[in-house]
Homo-oligomer: A and B are copies of this chain.
Amino acid sequence: MYLYSNCLGTFVFNQNFKIREQILFSKEESLKNSDLLKQSKILDSEKKFLEKFKNIENLRETKDIKNLQKALYELRNYTKDFYNTNMYITKHKIRESVSYDLLIIQCINSIIEYNKVINLLVKRLREWYSYYFPEIDKNIEDNEAFVKLILKKTKKQLMQELKLKFSMGSDLNKKDTDAVFELANQVDFLIESKHRQELYLEDSMKKTCPNLTEIAGTLIGGKLIALAGSIKKLVLFPASTIQLLGAEKALFRHMRNKRCLPPKYGVLHEHKYIQQAPKKLHGKIARVLSDKISIAVKIDYFKGDFIGDKLRKEIEEKIKEMNK
Protein backbone atom coordinates (compact mmCIF):
# COMPACT_ATOMS: atom_id res chain seq x y z
CA MET A 1 0.00 0.00 0.00
CA TYR A 2 1.12 3.51 -0.75
CA LEU A 3 0.53 6.81 0.94
CA TYR A 4 0.64 10.02 -1.11
CA SER A 5 -0.29 13.56 -0.23
CA ASN A 6 -0.48 16.70 -2.34
CA CYS A 7 -2.27 20.02 -2.11
CA LEU A 8 -5.66 18.34 -2.58
CA GLY A 9 -5.43 16.02 0.37
CA THR A 10 -3.93 12.68 1.33
CA PHE A 11 -4.55 9.44 -0.53
CA VAL A 12 -3.93 5.75 0.24
CA PHE A 13 -3.44 3.42 -2.72
CA ASN A 14 -3.62 -0.41 -2.57
CA GLN A 15 -1.25 -2.74 -4.39
CA ASN A 16 -3.21 -2.33 -7.63
CA PHE A 17 -2.84 1.42 -7.41
CA LYS A 18 -6.51 2.07 -6.82
CA ILE A 19 -7.43 4.70 -4.29
CA ARG A 20 -8.50 2.93 -1.11
CA GLU A 21 -9.09 5.88 1.12
CA GLN A 22 -8.73 9.66 0.93
CA ILE A 23 -9.02 12.79 3.00
CA LEU A 24 -9.56 15.92 0.92
CA PHE A 25 -9.09 19.41 2.18
CA SER A 26 -12.67 20.53 2.31
CA LYS A 27 -12.17 24.25 1.70
CA GLU A 28 -9.55 26.72 0.63
CA GLU A 29 -9.67 28.06 4.15
CA SER A 30 -8.56 24.77 5.71
CA LEU A 31 -5.78 24.61 3.11
CA LYS A 32 -4.66 28.07 4.09
CA ASN A 33 -4.32 26.99 7.67
CA SER A 34 -2.80 23.61 6.82
CA ASP A 35 0.88 22.94 7.08
CA LEU A 36 1.24 22.71 3.31
CA LEU A 37 1.58 26.45 2.99
CA LYS A 38 4.11 26.32 5.76
CA GLN A 39 5.96 23.65 3.80
CA SER A 40 6.19 21.04 6.56
CA LYS A 41 6.49 17.55 5.24
CA ILE A 42 3.99 15.46 7.15
CA LEU A 43 0.44 16.78 7.17
CA ASP A 44 -2.08 16.37 9.93
CA SER A 45 -4.27 14.32 7.62
CA GLU A 46 -1.32 12.11 6.84
CA LYS A 47 -0.74 11.54 10.54
CA LYS A 48 -4.34 10.35 10.88
CA PHE A 49 -3.78 7.86 8.06
CA LEU A 50 -0.60 6.61 9.55
CA GLU A 51 -2.30 5.93 12.84
CA LYS A 52 -5.15 4.10 11.09
CA PHE A 53 -2.84 1.91 8.99
CA LYS A 54 -0.20 1.50 11.65
CA ASN A 55 0.22 -2.22 11.12
CA ILE A 56 0.73 -2.03 7.35
CA GLU A 57 4.45 -1.99 6.81
CA ASN A 58 4.98 -0.68 3.31
CA LEU A 59 2.63 2.24 3.77
CA ARG A 60 5.22 4.89 3.02
CA GLU A 61 7.00 2.95 0.32
CA THR A 62 6.62 5.80 -2.15
CA LYS A 63 10.25 5.60 -3.14
CA ASP A 64 9.30 3.30 -6.02
CA ILE A 65 8.84 6.05 -8.60
CA LYS A 66 7.41 3.91 -11.38
CA ASN A 67 4.63 2.58 -9.20
CA LEU A 68 4.04 6.02 -7.75
CA GLN A 69 3.45 7.40 -11.24
CA LYS A 70 0.87 4.70 -11.83
CA ALA A 71 -0.77 5.59 -8.55
CA LEU A 72 -0.83 9.26 -9.43
CA TYR A 73 -2.54 8.37 -12.70
CA GLU A 74 -5.50 7.35 -10.52
CA LEU A 75 -5.79 10.98 -9.49
CA ARG A 76 -6.70 12.16 -13.00
CA ASN A 77 -10.27 12.85 -11.90
CA TYR A 78 -8.94 15.61 -9.69
CA THR A 79 -7.12 17.52 -12.44
CA LYS A 80 -9.34 20.59 -12.28
CA ASP A 81 -9.30 20.72 -8.49
CA PHE A 82 -5.57 20.25 -8.59
CA TYR A 83 -5.13 23.20 -10.97
CA ASN A 84 -7.36 25.50 -8.90
CA THR A 85 -5.74 24.64 -5.61
CA ASN A 86 -2.27 24.98 -7.02
CA MET A 87 -3.14 28.42 -8.42
CA TYR A 88 -4.47 29.36 -5.02
CA ILE A 89 -1.30 28.29 -3.29
CA THR A 90 0.89 30.04 -5.86
CA LYS A 91 -1.06 33.27 -5.55
CA HIS A 92 -0.75 33.09 -1.80
CA LYS A 93 2.96 32.53 -2.05
CA ILE A 94 3.34 35.49 -4.42
CA ARG A 95 1.35 37.56 -2.01
CA GLU A 96 3.55 36.62 0.89
CA SER A 97 6.76 37.12 -1.11
CA VAL A 98 6.46 40.92 -0.91
CA SER A 99 9.05 41.73 1.68
CA TYR A 100 10.37 44.97 3.05
CA ASP A 101 13.45 44.61 0.85
CA LEU A 102 11.34 44.98 -2.27
CA LEU A 103 9.58 48.08 -0.98
CA ILE A 104 12.93 49.60 -0.03
CA ILE A 105 14.33 48.85 -3.49
CA GLN A 106 11.31 50.43 -5.19
CA CYS A 107 11.63 53.48 -2.97
CA ILE A 108 15.36 54.00 -3.52
CA ASN A 109 14.92 53.53 -7.26
CA SER A 110 12.08 56.02 -7.30
CA ILE A 111 14.29 58.52 -5.44
CA ILE A 112 17.04 58.01 -8.04
CA GLU A 113 14.45 58.65 -10.75
CA TYR A 114 13.11 61.69 -8.92
CA ASN A 115 16.63 63.11 -9.03
CA LYS A 116 16.96 62.43 -12.76
CA VAL A 117 13.59 64.02 -13.44
CA ILE A 118 14.28 67.08 -11.30
CA ASN A 119 17.64 67.64 -13.00
CA LEU A 120 16.09 67.38 -16.44
CA LEU A 121 13.26 69.78 -15.68
CA VAL A 122 15.45 72.29 -13.80
CA LYS A 123 17.75 72.50 -16.81
CA ARG A 124 14.75 73.40 -18.97
CA LEU A 125 13.47 75.80 -16.30
CA ARG A 126 16.81 77.63 -16.10
CA GLU A 127 16.90 78.09 -19.86
CA TRP A 128 13.30 79.21 -20.08
CA TYR A 129 13.43 81.52 -17.04
CA SER A 130 16.57 83.13 -18.44
CA TYR A 131 14.53 84.80 -21.16
CA TYR A 132 12.70 86.55 -18.37
CA PHE A 133 15.56 87.21 -15.94
CA PRO A 134 18.95 85.73 -16.92
CA GLU A 135 20.97 87.28 -14.08
CA ILE A 136 19.65 84.77 -11.50
CA ASP A 137 20.77 81.65 -13.36
CA LYS A 138 24.50 82.20 -12.87
CA ASN A 139 24.17 83.46 -9.30
CA ILE A 140 22.65 80.29 -7.89
CA GLU A 141 24.18 76.94 -8.69
CA ASP A 142 22.02 74.85 -6.39
CA ASN A 143 18.94 73.68 -8.27
CA GLU A 144 16.68 73.47 -5.28
CA ALA A 145 17.55 76.95 -4.04
CA PHE A 146 17.07 78.32 -7.55
CA VAL A 147 13.53 76.99 -7.83
CA LYS A 148 12.56 78.13 -4.32
CA LEU A 149 13.94 81.62 -4.93
CA ILE A 150 12.21 82.34 -8.22
CA LEU A 151 8.92 81.05 -6.80
CA LYS A 152 9.23 83.10 -3.63
CA LYS A 153 10.26 86.46 -5.02
CA THR A 154 9.17 88.54 -7.99
CA LYS A 155 11.57 89.86 -10.58
CA LYS A 156 11.35 93.32 -9.02
CA GLN A 157 12.28 92.09 -5.56
CA LEU A 158 15.17 90.06 -6.94
CA MET A 159 16.48 93.03 -8.92
CA GLN A 160 16.45 95.17 -5.77
CA GLU A 161 18.32 92.48 -3.84
CA LEU A 162 20.98 92.13 -6.51
CA LYS A 163 21.13 95.94 -6.85
CA LEU A 164 20.46 95.66 -10.56
CA LYS A 165 19.07 98.68 -12.34
CA PHE A 166 18.63 96.88 -15.60
CA SER A 167 17.98 93.27 -16.52
CA MET A 168 18.82 91.67 -19.84
CA GLY A 169 15.62 89.64 -19.60
CA SER A 170 12.63 90.86 -21.52
CA ASP A 171 9.38 91.76 -19.82
CA LEU A 172 7.16 88.90 -20.88
CA ASN A 173 3.36 88.90 -20.78
CA LYS A 174 1.65 87.37 -17.80
CA LYS A 175 0.58 84.39 -19.93
CA ASP A 176 4.16 83.69 -20.94
CA THR A 177 5.54 83.95 -17.42
CA ASP A 178 2.66 81.83 -16.14
CA ALA A 179 3.89 78.95 -18.31
CA VAL A 180 7.40 79.30 -16.86
CA PHE A 181 6.10 79.36 -13.30
CA GLU A 182 3.87 76.38 -14.06
CA LEU A 183 7.04 74.42 -14.72
CA ALA A 184 8.77 75.90 -11.67
CA ASN A 185 5.85 74.86 -9.46
CA GLN A 186 5.99 71.33 -10.82
CA VAL A 187 9.69 71.08 -10.06
CA ASP A 188 9.03 72.40 -6.56
CA PHE A 189 6.32 69.77 -6.01
CA LEU A 190 8.74 67.09 -7.17
CA ILE A 191 11.44 68.29 -4.79
CA GLU A 192 9.01 68.28 -1.85
CA SER A 193 7.75 64.85 -2.83
CA LYS A 194 11.31 63.54 -3.04
CA HIS A 195 11.96 64.72 0.51
CA ARG A 196 8.85 62.88 1.73
CA GLN A 197 10.00 59.68 -0.01
CA GLU A 198 13.41 60.06 1.61
CA LEU A 199 11.75 60.28 5.04
CA TYR A 200 9.74 57.12 4.29
CA LEU A 201 12.90 55.36 3.13
CA GLU A 202 14.75 56.37 6.29
CA ASP A 203 11.89 55.03 8.39
CA SER A 204 11.75 51.65 6.64
CA MET A 205 15.53 51.32 6.54
CA LYS A 206 15.80 51.94 10.28
CA LYS A 207 13.16 49.28 10.90
CA THR A 208 14.53 46.65 8.53
CA CYS A 209 18.27 47.12 8.84
CA PRO A 210 19.21 49.52 11.65
CA ASN A 211 22.89 48.57 11.70
CA LEU A 212 23.39 49.07 7.98
CA THR A 213 21.56 52.40 8.11
CA GLU A 214 23.67 53.59 11.01
CA ILE A 215 26.94 52.97 9.18
CA ALA A 216 26.13 53.54 5.52
CA GLY A 217 23.31 56.06 5.81
CA THR A 218 19.85 55.75 4.31
CA LEU A 219 20.60 56.49 0.69
CA ILE A 220 23.83 54.52 0.32
CA GLY A 221 22.39 51.62 2.34
CA GLY A 222 19.32 51.59 0.13
CA LYS A 223 21.41 51.72 -3.02
CA LEU A 224 23.51 48.78 -1.81
CA ILE A 225 20.37 46.70 -1.22
CA ALA A 226 18.98 47.71 -4.62
CA LEU A 227 22.24 46.83 -6.39
CA ALA A 228 22.49 43.48 -4.63
CA GLY A 229 18.80 42.69 -5.27
CA SER A 230 17.79 41.95 -1.68
CA ILE A 231 19.19 42.01 1.84
CA LYS A 232 19.72 38.25 1.64
CA LYS A 233 21.90 38.60 -1.46
CA LEU A 234 23.82 41.45 0.18
CA VAL A 235 24.51 39.15 3.15
CA LEU A 236 25.98 36.53 0.81
CA PHE A 237 28.40 39.00 -0.80
CA PRO A 238 31.95 39.25 0.58
CA ALA A 239 33.08 42.66 1.78
CA SER A 240 35.20 43.15 -1.32
CA THR A 241 32.12 42.84 -3.53
CA ILE A 242 30.21 45.32 -1.39
CA GLN A 243 33.12 47.73 -1.76
CA LEU A 244 32.71 47.69 -5.56
CA LEU A 245 28.90 47.60 -5.86
CA GLY A 246 27.95 50.31 -8.33
CA ALA A 247 31.38 50.29 -10.02
CA GLU A 248 30.62 47.36 -12.32
CA LYS A 249 31.40 49.35 -15.45
CA ALA A 250 34.87 50.33 -14.27
CA LEU A 251 35.51 46.81 -12.99
CA PHE A 252 34.70 45.17 -16.31
CA ARG A 253 36.70 47.83 -18.16
CA HIS A 254 39.65 46.82 -15.97
CA MET A 255 39.04 43.12 -16.59
CA ARG A 256 38.95 43.61 -20.37
CA ASN A 257 41.92 45.90 -20.46
CA LYS A 258 44.50 45.56 -17.69
CA ARG A 259 45.88 48.99 -18.45
CA CYS A 260 42.74 50.53 -16.92
CA LEU A 261 43.14 50.66 -13.15
CA PRO A 262 40.67 48.66 -11.07
CA PRO A 263 38.01 50.74 -9.27
CA LYS A 264 38.37 51.28 -5.54
CA TYR A 265 34.75 52.07 -4.66
CA GLY A 266 31.25 52.08 -6.09
CA VAL A 267 28.32 53.84 -4.47
CA LEU A 268 30.35 54.00 -1.26
CA HIS A 269 32.17 56.95 -2.83
CA GLU A 270 29.19 59.15 -1.88
CA HIS A 271 29.76 58.38 1.81
CA LYS A 272 30.67 61.37 3.94
CA TYR A 273 33.71 59.64 5.45
CA ILE A 274 35.19 59.26 1.96
CA GLN A 275 34.08 62.69 0.78
CA GLN A 276 35.71 64.38 3.78
CA ALA A 277 39.00 62.47 3.53
CA PRO A 278 42.03 63.34 1.36
CA LYS A 279 41.95 61.61 -2.00
CA LYS A 280 44.79 59.17 -1.38
CA LEU A 281 42.87 57.62 1.55
CA HIS A 282 39.61 57.08 -0.38
CA GLY A 283 40.39 53.48 -1.32
CA LYS A 284 41.47 52.50 2.18
CA ILE A 285 38.43 54.04 3.82
CA ALA A 286 36.17 52.30 1.31
CA ARG A 287 37.72 49.00 2.34
CA VAL A 288 37.13 49.67 6.04
CA LEU A 289 33.57 50.81 5.36
CA SER A 290 32.66 47.79 3.24
CA ASP A 291 34.14 45.53 5.91
CA LYS A 292 31.91 46.94 8.61
CA ILE A 293 28.89 47.14 6.29
CA SER A 294 29.32 43.45 5.57
CA ILE A 295 29.19 42.74 9.33
CA ALA A 296 26.28 45.11 9.92
CA VAL A 297 24.09 43.67 7.18
CA LYS A 298 24.64 40.13 8.48
CA ILE A 299 23.52 41.19 11.96
CA ASP A 300 20.46 42.89 10.48
CA TYR A 301 19.49 39.86 8.42
CA PHE A 302 19.68 37.49 11.37
CA LYS A 303 17.84 39.99 13.61
CA GLY A 304 20.80 40.60 15.89
CA ASP A 305 21.17 43.44 18.37
CA PHE A 306 21.92 47.02 17.42
CA ILE A 307 25.68 47.55 17.43
CA GLY A 308 25.77 50.21 14.69
CA ASP A 309 27.16 52.88 17.02
CA LYS A 310 29.99 50.57 18.08
CA LEU A 311 30.86 49.72 14.48
CA ARG A 312 30.81 53.38 13.54
CA LYS A 313 33.22 54.25 16.32
CA GLU A 314 35.57 51.52 15.11
CA ILE A 315 35.49 52.98 11.61
CA GLU A 316 36.16 56.49 12.90
CA GLU A 317 39.12 55.27 14.92
CA LYS A 318 40.61 53.47 11.95
CA ILE A 319 40.26 56.61 9.83
CA LYS A 320 41.96 58.63 12.57
CA GLU A 321 44.89 56.21 12.53
CA MET A 322 45.18 56.53 8.76
CA ASN A 323 45.36 60.29 9.00
CA LYS A 324 48.30 60.12 11.42
For the complex, count residues of A whose C-beta is within 8 A of B.
44
Asked whether A179 and B113 contact (CB < 8 A) given A96-B170, A131-B102, A193-B186, the answer is no
Q: Which listed residue (B94, B106, B120, B131) contacts A168, Cβ 8 A?
A: B94
Is the CB–CB distance between A200 and B183 below 8 Å? no
Contact with B along A279-320 (1 / 0, CB 8 A): 000000000000000000000000000000000000000000
For residue A23, CB closer than 8 A to chain B, the reply is no
Contact with B along A197-219 (1 / 0, CB 8 A): 10010011000000000000000
Complex Cα spacing A109 to B175, Å: 18
Report A272 CB to chain B, min CB distance, Å. 25
Residues of chain A in range 73-95 having any CB-CB distance to chain B below 8 Å: 88, 91, 94-95
For residue A128, CB closer than 8 A to chain B, the reply is yes
Asked whether A179 and B166 contact (CB < 8 A) given A117-B117, A120-B117, A127-B106, the answer is no
Complex Cα spacing A103 to B183, Å: 13
Which residue in chain B gives the minimum CB-CB distance to A169?
B95
Which residue in chain B gives the minimum CB-CB distance to A134?
B94
Which residue in chain B gives the minimum CB-CB distance to A98?
B170
Q: How many copies does the complex hold?
A: 2
Is the CB–CB distance between A107 and B179 below 8 Å? yes
Report A85 CB to chain B, min CB distance, Å. 13
Complex Cα spacing A199 to B172, Å: 18
Which residue in chain B gives the minimum CB-CB distance to A186?
B193
Complex Cα spacing A120 to B183, Å: 18
For residue A267, CB closer than 8 A to chain B, the reply is no
Which residue in chain B gives the minimum CB-CB distance to A103?
B176
- Which residues on the B side are within 8 Å of A170 (C-beta)? 95-96, 98
Which residue in chain B gives the minimum CB-CB distance to A97?
B170
Residues of chain A in range 165-188 having any CB-CB distance to chain B below 8 Å: 166-170, 172, 175-176, 178-179, 182-183, 185-186
Is the CB–CB distance between B190 and A178 below 8 Å? no
Asked whether A128 and B113 contact (CB < 8 A) given A166-B91, A182-B197, the answer is no
For residue A254, CB closer than 8 A to chain B, the reply is no
Report A94 CB to chain B, min CB distance, Å. 5
For residue A236, CB closer than 8 A to chain B, the reply is no
Which residue in chain B gives the minimum CB-CB distance to A185?
B193
Is the CB–CB distance between A121 and B127 below 8 Å? no
15 A-B residue pairs with Cβ-Cβ distance under 8 Å, sorted by A, are A95-B167, A95-B168, A95-B169, A96-B170, A103-B131, A103-B176, A103-B179, A106-B124, A109-B124, A110-B128, A117-B117, A175-B203, A175-B204, A182-B200, A183-B197
